[in-house]
Amino acid sequence: MVKVGIIGATGYAGNELVRLLMGHKEARIVWYGSRSYIDKRYADVYRNMFQIVDDVCKDDRMEELARTADVIFTATPQGFLAGVLTEEILRQTRIIDLSADYRIKDVSIYEAWYQIEHKSPQFIGEAVYGLCEINRDRVKGARLIANPGCYTTCSILTAYPLVKEGLIDTDTLIIDAKSGTSGAGRGAKLPNLFCEVNENMKAYGVASHRHTPEIEEQLSYAAKAAVTVNFTPHLVPMNRGILVTEYASLKRKADGSLPSYEEIKSIYDKYYENEKFVRVLERGLCPETKWVEGSNYVDIGFTVDERTGRVIMMGALDNLVKGAAGQAVQNMNLLFGFEESEGLELVPMFP
């Protein structure tokens, strides 16, 4: 059994990690780390774990945990892991970080967008961006995995095949994204109160959201050229889910015609037909958050708009599963040679 430690176990992503790992045949949680609830029973924080988890919450002493756990999940705010990570810790355990501390390779870009100093930039180079469908082979040998965020996972996977194959003009790429409120975390914040969110929908982080450089960096690798996008997130009154709608101009073929639906579909199938957790929908179907809720699936669909010469790409996922904890478990499975879907055979919940 792989011994697992979780720092940030009482946040939404941390609790989702606990839920998923309870059903994992090869993993055992040995540390429920939570600075806010030290010595409090985990099941008293999350009553869904009543008579399932008997442990109490511990602190976030990474040095001690590294001597105990085979892998540590850090579901913590930006800057935590970068502030405590050492070579000694990495020699003793593997780390899957759910924050953005090691996702962006240019430390100056990270510091500019996140407005904090990076305390351990020496580890950025070796960190592997843990988007399994793209970096599967690199994940397997990593000591440090930068687990992608929810907006970024959905945005990148939705556009990746067409960017990689050069079917779209990336200078025209616009990403319109919607998120449920759990994406903002469990902390008490005025914009996330029920009366602020209910019966409301709003854009935020317009032209300034900090997931933008992460999306641009990964799509730039795919395009082998710099990619700049307009990314606009919106908060919607639901608990879980990400829906992205992406627009880009198609590149015309030598004869001046647009790529057909069938040609574009064949590109998506080339990349995803053997991917367990990416479902490319049939023609005429649009992704919906309700059909992926509680699961590790990403649903992707697209429409060719011949009138404007654009393709409209759509993706949906559960922000707490494939957008956070599920992807982290998927990375753990790759690290330790388990079946990639172990602990993640989750049929989407409905209603």
The catalytic residue positions are 150
Amino acid (1-letter code) at residue 345: E
| Encoded tokens for 173 | 């790429």
